[in-house]
Amino acid sequence: MEQVVKLTELEAGIVQVTMEDKDSRNTFTKELMSALITVFAEIRRHPGYKVVILTGYENYFCCGGTKEELIRIHQSDAKFNELNFFTCPLECEIPVISAMQGHGIGGGFVFGLYADFAILGRENVYTTNFMKYGFTPGLGATLMVPLKLGEVLGNEMLHSAKNYRGEELKERGIPFKVVPKAQVMSEAMALARELAEKPRLSLVTLKKHLTAHIREKLPIAIEQELHMHEITFHQPEVGERIETSFGK
């Protein structure tokens, strides 16, 4: 089977996690989710690593839930918190940079926001499109999106489910660097080198402190999202929307 997530040591202290599930365009397949858990566990075992660059391939950073996965949740056969990969960047001891060189769609965009830093491509599409299907957001999106992008824009994105180009988000004042997609990786590498100059213990200690409020609030947000899913996810209209949208 083709390796869908690759771990590459770029230089001393800097590693790159590349999502390359080309058959699914980096949607949340079982293979991708399992591989991400495995790779981040591997990173944890290496005391020499200081910084992680998380990225995708070609035009795709990460594109969220598969049709099969959404149908299973709609039919009460699964819950999103069973997909326990999405907090890997948050739980990683060392800083993680999301180099979103391609589109970030739905839960895929939220996954990138669990990193400590994010760099977006000017031409790429970013969206939290949960409500497009008629169900309320999950994966901790109700916490992470307003927290990372700002409350006004974050709430707008969650409610509207519309597509935003990186350039538009830049104009709206997001706190992340937005550059031409061809420059995303070079910007990520420059930041990674700045971080890798610092002692690993200091990086780990500072990240633990700076993310404590997220780790404290996240279980509450997920519990609330699961409650909203019990209300919204099982509507017949949601199943119809999933079928129609993925049928295009």
pLDDT tens digits, 39-79 = 999 999 999 999 999 999 999 999 999 999 999 999 999 99
Q: Beta strand pairing status for 125-127 and 117-121?
A: unpaired
How much is the average pLDDT of 87-99? Answer: 98
Residue type, 222: I
Query: Residue 248: which pLDDT band, with cuts at 50, 70 and 90?
Result: low
CA 143, CA 133: separation in Å to the nearest integer? 20
Convert the pLDDT of each residue in 197-232 to its tens digit: 999 999 999 999 999 999 999 999 999 999 999 999
Query: Residue 82: which pLDDT band, with cuts at 50, 70 and 90?
Result: confident
| 3-state DSSP assignment of residue 2 | coil
Convert the pLDDT of each residue in 146-201 to its tens digit: 999 999 999 999 999 999 999 999 999 999 999 999 999 999 999 999 999 999 99
Question: Is 229 labeled as catalytic in the residue annotation?
Answer: yes
Q: What is the pLDDT of residue 2?
A: 61
Catalytic residue among 209, 227, 229, 234: 229
CA 238, CA 228: separation in Å to the nearest integer? 14
Query: Residue 247: which pLDDT band, with cuts at 50, 70 and 90?
Result: low
H or E, element range at 31: helix 30-44
Q: What is the pLDDT of residue 47?
A: 96
Query: Residue 1: which pLDDT band, with cuts at 50, 70 and 90?
Result: very low
CATH architecture assignment, domain 5-181: Alpha-Beta Complex (3.90)
